[in-house]
Structures are given as structure tokens and as C-alpha cells.
Structure 1
Amino acid sequence: MSETLSAVSPDEDLRLRRGLGTTSLALITFSSVIGSGWLLAPYTAAKAAGPAAFLSWTIASVATALVSLAFIDLAFRHPMSGGNVRWPQLASGPLVGAVVGWAVFLQAVSAGPSESTAVVQYAAKWLPWVMSGESLSWPGRLIAAGLLVFFCAINLFGIKLLARVNNVVATIKVVIPALTVILLLASGFDTTNVATGGGVAPYGVSAALTAVVGGGLVYSFTGINAAAVMSGEAKDPRRTVPRATLIVLAGTIVLYMGLQAVMIFSLPSGLLGSGWHGINLNSPLASLATLLGLSWFATVLLADAIFSPSGSLLIGIGVKGRYTYGAAQNGLLPAALAKVDARFGIPRRALLLNVGIGSVIVLTFGNWKSIASSLSFYYGLSYAAVSVAVTVLAASTPMEKGWLRRWAIPVGFASFVLSGLILYWSTWEKIRVAVPLLLIGFLIYLVRTSKLRAVGGWLVGFLVMLGLLSALGSFGGAGVVAAPYDSVLVGVLSAGIWWLAHRSGLRHQRSLTPQEARSMV
């Protein structure tokens, strides 16, 4: 079988334990989503865009909903662990698999550090010495790295133990954010904050667009694909994955909108003397609760600020281990990382590699926002590739009914265009670093391939387009192309690139032998 389709170690997939039902998948997904994002993203969005942050959350929610539908459809067609890496390669070939695999691997090794730094950052309320300015001090960074190692150790005992522990963790993580919205809005709700802070969009619509990525909003939804990514370990994935994903998607959208309302309308107006940019709260929701006279609940929030990201860290280490496992099954990483522990049924080596590199990232950066905002770009790119995968596989096997049925191509197209816009809005400051780093995936492909193929070249073109327009555009670039024309241009070009990507994927599918095509069903 060709390098395009075959897993490096296909027998290892059979070692994974298939015991996760709808409830376990939903709770795992919820724990993956509700981590440090709910504690910090509404604050960073309000600080960046004021009341226009609701527009930021709306865009992030629509993009997340579209890509969630794509993940559901792909898991319905081809349930497998690490599918977010493997589906793009199945649909579009090894070049796309290498670049996306590299992007997903960067996510896998960076997600844990973002949660562990958030845990320690909130602990500064009691342990001020863990912070130095807006970043962790060296003792704080060492504690954050130690948390990675500790939660990795729990993951090594298998998915069943992880699911049992998470059932308790997720229940608490549902209750506390919901109480936060109810109590803080009931204690202080002032619509005049909109006028006091300079209006609905005090810094312009562009600030709201930038906040989608830069404020960590896209990052706050990451983990919504957990059920699909772990579909190779699910019981009856065609039923359980859609149910679990949609339940969590609806719940988190409502929750995040409520939390943003808290940060906009419950903030004492006296703090808005210098505008939304001027607010400065070290532990945002806990500080706000104290200002509203809810000191007892502030203590609860500070405790949960450590507990909630810790729960996401526990689950995230396991889920991101499947990312690295998938990249190894694609052949991007050494085959040894595709090995599954025979006793506990988990990709142990992949987990250990992620935590090792993650510890280095924690020690290097030590700041939640810097890690989360860069992560969002990598998630956006993998979402774009998954959006193409769902349209290609739906069109190439028309007789096979996927979960989305005739809606697969419209949903994938819309998701791809919106992903392109979100990536562009992440600003030139991030794109100029992220794009060259992602092209390392292309170099890996050149090294490991025996025959250079043009199929999948659209992805490199997509990255180059984003880089050029970002350098020339209004989101941190030279401003040669002014707003909103730059966003319109990115949207139009993204639509054109999707067309090229879709046709490229269909050509790739037609080039497969009958045996290879059958292996995908």
C-alpha cells in the first residue's frame, strides 16, 4: 500500500481500547474545551475590543460550529484516533499530510504548557513569587513544568481510569462557570458601561477581528474535536461522536457569551476611565467578584482557576498524545511514536515526547497569552485542511452517505473560507513567525519523499498568500491594502484556494489503486 494511505503501524490501531460512550466522550470534550480560556479570554477580548468582543465570540463560534460538523462527518466516515492529522493526508496526499501533521504536532506540544502556565498564573493570588511581571518567574515555570509531568503520569494508566477521573472533574467544571455567569450578572449589571467605555466598537471592528485569534478566543474552543480525535477508541462512533460534540458545542457557546456579558456589563464603570485598554485585573473574574462584594465566591473562583485548567491539562495531555500518534502513523514522526502500550492501550511514547517538549516551552515562554495566541494559528490551519478533507472525501465517495450528507461540501467550503479569514486576522506579528515555521513541514516532506508530487501544493500557496497579504494589509502589516478591502480579498482568494484544493484532492483520489480506495471505506 502507498505512503499516502497506509499507517506506519496499522496493527497499533487495534491495540487501542474502544470503550468510550456518549457520556464519557462528552465529558472528555467538555474538559478539553473548558480550561484556562473561560478564565482569561473574556477579559482579554474585552480589553482588546470592548463590547465589540461579542462580535469576536460570534465569529469564533460560527467557525467552531462549521469545523465541528466537518470533524463529525469525518469521524462518521473513518473513525480513527489522531484523525485530525490522518484525514487530511487520506484526502489530499502526503504533502498536505506533512504540513498539517507538523502544525498539529506544534499544537500537541504547546497545548499542555498553555494550561499549566494558566494554573500557576492564577495561583499567584496566594503565591505572588511565581510571577515576574506578566510572565511566570523561574520558580513558577518549574512548577508549571512539574504539573505537566504529574498529569502525564496519570494518563499512562489508560483511558478507562482517565475517563473515571474526568467524570468528577467535568461535573465541577460545568457548575462553577455557570454559577459565575449567574451570580456576577445578578450582582452588577450596568448597560452604561458601553457608552462609558467609548461605544460599541471603541477601537474599531478590526480590533474585534484581531481578538478572535489574538485574544485567545479560537484557542478557547480548542478541544471541541476531542470526541472525533478519539473516535478510534469510541463505542459506536457513528452515534456517540456526533452526540457528544454537539452537546458540548451548544453548551460552550452559551457559556462563553454569558462570561463575556459578565466582563462587559458587570465591570464597575469607575475602572473604565482610561477605556477598555486601561483595565488591569490580575485574576479577572476573581477580582471582579471581589469588586462586586462577592469575596467568598472570589475564593471559589481562585480555587477553580487552578482546578479547571488542571482538568483540561489532564485530558489535554491524553488527547494531544493522539495528535502525535496520528502524525507518527502518517510517517511524519518516527515510527516508534506510533507504538501503543499493550497493557494500557495508550500511545505512551507520544505522550512522553509531548510532555518533554512542552516542559521546554514552559521554561522558555511562561506566559498564557503568548502561548495561547500562537496556538490559535496552528489550530486554524489544521481546521482549514480538515475542511478540505470533508469535501474531498464526500465528493469522491458519493454513494457512501456521511453524517452531513449533501451539506458536506457547503459546510467544508464555508469552514475553509472562514478559517482563512481568522488566520489573516491573527495579524502580521504572528503570521511572520508562524508561516515560516509551518513550512518546516514542507521541508520534512521533501526529505522523506522518494518522488516529488505536485498534489497538495495548494497548501503551500495558501500559506504564502496569507504571508504576503498580511505583510501588505491592515492587520499589523504595511497598510498598503486598507480595511475592509484586505479582508474581502482574503475571503475571495481563500474561496479560490478551496476550489484548487478540492480539485487537487479529487485528482489524488482518482490516482489511487482500487485496493487503496477500498482501504479508506
Structure 2
Amino acid sequence: MSRSSVGHPSRSATRQLSVPQGVALYVGAVLGTGLLVLPSLAAKAAGPASLIAFSVLVLISAPVAATFGALAGRHPDAGGPATFALRAFGPKTSAVTGWWFYFGTLAGMPAASAFGATYVTELIGGGRTTTMLLAAVLVLVAIGVNLFGVHLSGRVQFVLTCFLALLLAGAVVLSAPKADTAHLQPFAPHGFAGIATAISLLVWSFTGWETVTHLAPDFRRPKRDLPLATGISILVIGVLYLAVGGMTILVLGPRAADTQAPLAALLGEGLGTSVRVVAAVIAVVVTLGVLNVFVASMAKLGAALGRDGALPRWLGKGSQGGDVPRRSLLVVTVGTAISFVVAILTGFELEQALRAENACLIGIYLVAMSAGVRLLPSGGRQWRFAVIATVLVFGVLLLACWYLLFAAVLAAGALIYLKFSRRSDARER
């Protein structure tokens, strides 16, 4: 594997991210746009038993996050999980893993940005077209921030995350006096099937651990900083998710399944008034935080895949210095625009698009956790975490059902591209 050009800094000056910025990036990526809508979708699927789904995913995310942190610390490269797969299983698995993230995320960008745009549309009025236009604006802002490099992106992320944490804590504290345990009955109106559906939906809320691995080379001391940032982030994210999910059920009761903006409803209960403006601000902050990290990670990954031959090598050129690769960022911009056009022309079902992208992300997680079993020191604590995470993620994968077809199509595309690109390289030689 080439160690040149992309993502592996040769000069300490390129390593600009600190532990606090790493925590901000993790929290922004994981405590993402799903927090705006998914508590309601989970409540609709499972009733109060959605709290079980939240708890399960918090428990699963701990060993998963720890494994990602350990791998990224030991193998800091812009390829992230694709690099782990390359080291553990070879170029074919690496290409598939990279395509899952790169193209799966591109396909899901309208969904990710529409989460926050929905809140703004509720405030200013308008329909689906307005929501999609606002979503596109949010993506453009994130792309604009990343044009100036990962250092500015990290600083912006730190400010956004601090502001978000304060707003979420305020929503929980202000609404807590109106919590009612009577809202826990009936606890599981749709049985185990409802809980399983809620888990498959909430997977989106707990993805993002893989995203920061693409930025590992930009940390000052990856081997120390990434595991530390990961551990702090697990604690912060777990507490905030359980608090928001719990208050959604205890405060809103049956209304939790009906509202499209649960955070706005919680703030309304706490303040005794309409707080759509505050809710829209939270939505914009959350969405920009997620998009900021994903755009940076996708740009880094695209260049790394170009370097390793899983995408056109043009993407990997001119990417020295550890900053956001401009060519790959251009492709991300164009690809996102195409995704928006397709979403607008064909109709856009948020839940279905979400679960299709989730299938890709779960596949990435399974490959990365399996790579951890092979790459981390056998018998050690990190290795044991990787074994546990592999078993848990495989269980979650089964819940994706037929949405795995989307991941299968991307996998086939990656393998076909790899086969023909090698033939082309051989002819050129």
C-alpha cells in the first residue's frame, strides 16, 4: 500500500487536530441529524419500548467505537475502514468498503440534510420543495467550510458541538418536570418486531464512528489522541441520547409518535410556549455538524481510494499536505448535486433512504470490526472489544433485511471497477 500523498502526513505541521476537536468531530458525526427526527420514528415503531432500542445501541456502540479508535490510532490513513480492510483482507474487500461509504453517503446526503431542513420549513412555511432547497443550502455551507481545510473545519466543529450540547441539555432539563411514568404503558405495543424495527431505524443515530477515522492522519498524536477522544465521546453521546430518548417518551407520551420535531416539542413543554425558532436553530447546528464531518471524510476517502486504485487515480493526485483534497471535494459536490436531483425527480421517502444507507454503514462496521480481530494484538483488551463488536454488529446486520440489496449493488460495482481498472493498468504498462 502506498504511504504517499493522501492522508498520511509526512510533516508534523499537517497534524492539526487536538483531542477536544476530536471529541467535537465524533459528537457532531454520531450525535447527528437522526436525533432530530428518529426518537419519534422509533416511538412510532415500538412505543415506550424504543427506550430498549436506544439502550441496546448505546451498548453496541461502545465496543464498536473503541475498536474504530484503536484501529485509527494504529493505522492512521485517510482510507479509514477501507485501509483497515486492505491491511486485513486485501484490495477487493477494501474497494467494497470504500464504495459503501463514498457512494452510500452520497446517496444519503439529501436525507441527512433534510432532517434539519424540515425544522426550518416548519418555521417559515413551505412544502417538500422548500425543504430540499434548504437542505441543499446546508450542504453547500459544509462544502464551503471544507474548502479552507480540516483545521478550520475542526474549529468550526468544536463551536457547533459545544453549542449543541448546551441546547440539548437545556431541552432535557426544562422538560423533565413534566415527565410522567404513566406514559410508559403499554410498554411494547408492537412486541419484539417493533423493537427490532426501532433498532434498525436508530442505527443511523449511532453511526459516525467510522467517519472520523478518515481524518486520523490530521491528529497530532493519533495513537494516543484517537482512543482518548473516542472514550470521552462514548460517554457524552450515550448520556445525551438516552436523556433525549427518555424525555421524548416520558414527557410527550403518545404524542411522541406523531410529532415530526420531537426536540421542538420538548422545548415547548419545558418553556410553555412555541419555540420553533430555537428548534430550527438546533436543527441547523446539528445538521451542519454532521455534514461538516461527512464532507471532510468523503473528500479524504475519495482521494485515498484514487490512490489505491479503487476509484480513478486522478482523485488521488495533488493531495499532499494532509488537507482536504480539492479534486475529491469537487466530485463530492457534483455527486451530492446529482443525488438531490434524483431525490427531487423521483420522490423521496426519508425512512427508506435512511435504511438503505444504514445497510451500507452496517456492512462497513462488520468489515472494520472483523479487521480489528485480525489487526489488533491478539488476546488484548482492544482485541476482545473487536470480537464482541463483530458479533454485535452481525446481529444488527440481520435487521437490515432486503435493504442489503443496495449494499450488494455497490459491492458489485466496486469489484467490477477494480477488475477493469486493473486490466487498463496492465495494458498501459
TM-score (norm 1): 0.74
Is the Cα–Cα contact under 8 Å of residues 181 and 258 in structure 1 kept in the other structure? yes
**Between 172-181 and 116-125, the greater mean CA deviation after superposition:** 116-125
Alignment match, 1:200? 187
Provide the rounded CA distance (Å) in 2 between the counterparts of 1:329 and 1:244. Answer: 28
- Partner in structure 1 of residue 97 of structure 2: 100
Aligned to 1:250: 235
- In structure 2, how many angstroms separate the alpha carbons of the residues matched to 1:227 and 1:154? 17
What secondary structure, in the 3-state scheme, does the structure 2 residue paired with 1:27 have?
Answer: helix
Q: Report the counterpart of residue 513 of structure 1 in structure 2.
A: none
- Secondary structure, in 3 states, of the residue corresponding to 2:181? coil
Query: Over residues 452-473 of structure 1, what are the superposed CA-to-partner deviations in whole Å (9 max), with x where a residue is unaligned?
Result: xxxxxxxxxxxxxxxxxxxxxx
- Note the C-alpha offset of 1:304: 1.4
Once the two structures are TM-superposed, the CA of residue 368 in structure 1 deviates from its matched residue by: 4.1
**Residues in 1 aligned to 2:6 and 2:106: alpha-carbon distance in whole angstroms:** 25
Query: Are 1:151 and 2:133 counterparts?
Result: no
Find the partner of 1:434 among 393, 398, 407: 407
Q: Which moved more, 1:167-176 or 1:53-62?
A: 53-62
- Secondary structure of residue in 2 paired with 1:202: coil
Which 4+ stretches in 1 moved above 4 angstroms? 9-12, 340-344
Provide the rounded CA distance (Å) in 1 between the counterparts of 2:298 and 2:234.
19
Q: Cα gap change, 1:120/1:15 in structure 2, threshold over 3 Å: closer, same or farther?
A: farther
Paired residue secondary structure (2:380) = helix
**Which letter does structure 1 place at the counterpart of 2:235?**
A
Q: Does 1:6 align with 2:2?
A: yes
Aligned to 1:498: none
Offset, 1:292: 5.9
1:190 aligns with 2:191: no
**1:209 maps to which residue?**
196
1:65 is matched with 62
1:263 aligns with 2:248: yes
Q: How big is the shift at 1:330?
A: 2.6
1:190 positional shift:
1.3
Structure 1 residues 37 and 290 mapped into 2: Cα distance closer, same or farther (>3 Å)? same
User: Does structure 1 conserve the Cα–Cα contact (< 8 Å) formed by 2:36 and 2:116?
Assistant: no
Alignment of 1:420-499 (within 5 A): 420-428=394-402, 430-449=403-422
1:181 alignment partner, one of 167, 172, 175:
172
Shift of 1:224: 2.5
Aligned residues of 1:112 and 1:355 also touching (Cα < 8 A): no
Q: Matches of 1:220 and 1:74 in 2, distance apart? A: 22
Q: Give the deviation of 1:293 after TM superposition.
A: 5.5
Cα displacement string for residues 370-401 of structure 1 (whole angstroms, at most 9, x for unaligned residues): 33322211111011111111111236xx6xxx
Give, in angstroms, the shift of residue 203 of structure 1: 0.5
CA distance in 2, matches of 1:351, 1:344: 14
Within 5 Å, which residues of 2 pair with 1:168-317?
168-186=159-177, 188-195=178-185, 199-213=186-200, 215=201, 217-268=202-253, 271=255, 279-290=257-268, 294-295=272-273, 297-317=275-295
Q: Distance in 2 between matches of 1:11 and 1:328?
A: 9
Shift of 1:47: 1.0
Instruction: Name the SS of the counterpart of 1:170 in structure 2.
Output: helix
Report whether the alignment pairs 1:393 with 2:390.
no
Question: Which SS does the other structure have where 1:257 is aligned?
Answer: helix
User: Cα–Cα, structure 1 residues 12 and 299, in superposed 2: closer, same or farther, change >3 Å?
Assistant: closer
Match of 1:350 among 328, 335, 339: 328
Task: Give the whole-Å Cα distance in 2 for the aligned partners of 1:261 and 1:419.
Answer: 24
CA gap 1:263/1:347 in 2 versus in 1, 3 angstroms: same
- How far is the alpha carbon of 1:172 from its aligned partner? 0.2
Q: Deviations over 1:118-138 (max 9, x none)?
A: 222111112322x2xxxx22x
| Distance 1:262-1:349 versus aligned 2 partners, 3 A rule | same
The equivalent of 2:352 in structure 1 is: 370
CA contact (8 A) 1:325 1:338 kept: yes
Displacement of 1:297 after TM fit? 4.3
Question: Aligned AA for 2:409?
Answer: P
Q: Which residue of 2 aligns with 1:80?
A: 77
Alignment of 1:86-165 (within 5 A): 86-129=83-126, 131=127, 136-137=128-129, 139-165=130-156
Amino acid paired to 1:173: L
Q: Give CA-to-partner distance per residue, 1:71-125, whole Å, 9 cap, x none.
A: 1221232222232211111110112112112112123424543332122211111
Question: How far, CA to CA, are the matches of 1:268 and 1:92 in structure 2?
Answer: 48
| Contact 1:212/1:426, CA 8 A, preserved across alignment | no
Q: Residues 375 and 241 of structure 1: is their aligned pair in 2 closer, same or farther, counting only changes over 3 Å?
A: same
Change (3 A) 1:446 1:266: same
Equivalent pair of 1:82/1:229 in contact (CA under 8 Å)? yes
AA aligned to 2:294 is G
The reply to whether residue 413 of structure 1 matches residue 400 of structure 2 is: no
Greater relative contact order, per chain length (Cα 8 Å cut-off, separation 6+): 2
Match of 1:39 in 2: 36
Q: Which runs of 5+ in 2 are unaligned?
A: 424-429
Measured at CA, do residues 75 and 432 of structure 1 come closer, stay the same or move farther in structure 2, by a change above 3 Å? closer
The answer as to whether partners of 2:150 and 2:324 remain within 8 angstroms in 1 is: yes
TM-score when scaled to structure 2?
A: 0.89
Instruction: Give the distance between the partners of 1:11 and 1:305, measured in 2 at CA.
Output: 33
For the structure 1 residues 342 and 390, does the alpha-carbon distance in structure 2 shift closer, same or farther, using more than 3 Å as the test? Answer: closer
Instruction: Give the fraction of aligned pairs with identical amino acids, expressed as a percent.
Output: 25
Would the alpha carbon gap of residues 178 and 110 (structure 1) be closer, same or farther in structure 2, given more than 3 Å must change?
farther
Q: Does 2:328 match 1:333?
A: no
TM-aligned CA deviation for residue 11 of structure 1: 6.5
Contact kept? 2:33, 2:286, Cα under 8 Å: yes
Query: Contact (CA 8 Å) 2:113, 2:136: kept in 1 or not?
Result: yes
